[in-house]
Amino acid sequence: MSDNLETLMFLMGKKLETSSNNSENIEKKEIISIEKKDFDYNKLDKDISDFLKKKQYEIFNIFNNTYTKIGKILKDAQDKLKGNNQYNGLFYQWFKSMGFKKDKVYALISRYNLLVENSDKQLTIEKLPLSLSYEISKKSCPSILKTEVLNGKINSLKEFKIVYKKSFDLKNTHKSLLKKNEKYENDIKEALDFILKNIKEFKNIEFNKLRQENLKLLFHSILEIKKKIKYIKNNSI
Shared-domain flag, residues 151 and 178: no
Shared-domain flag, residues 183 and 115: no
Domain final residue pick, 155, 189, 208: 155
- Helix or strand or coil: residue 47? helix
Shared-domain flag, residues 135 and 220: no
Distance of CA 220 to the CA centre of its chain: 55
Domain final residue pick, 155, 184, 208: 155
State the total domains in the chain: 2
User: Is residue 209 assigned to a domain?
Assistant: yes
Tens of pLDDT along 63-113?
888 899 999 999 999 999 988 777 788 999 999 999 999 999 999 999 999
Tens of pLDDT along 5-28?
455 555 555 444 444 344 333 333
pTM: 0.55
User: Is residue 224 assigned to a domain?
Assistant: yes
- Is residue 161 pLDDT above 50, yes or no? yes
Q: What percent of the chain has pLDDT over 70?
A: 59
User: Is residue 21 assigned to a domain?
Assistant: no
Give the pLDDT band of residue 29 (cuts 50, 70, 90): very low
Tens of pLDDT along 211-224?
555 556 666 777 77
213 or 166, greater pLDDT:
166
Q: Return the sign of the alpha-carbon dihedral for residues 16, 18, 23, 25.
A: negative
Shared-domain flag, residues 136 and 62: yes
| Closest residue by Cα to residue 77 from 63, 66, 90, 64 | 90
For 227, the domain range is 167-234
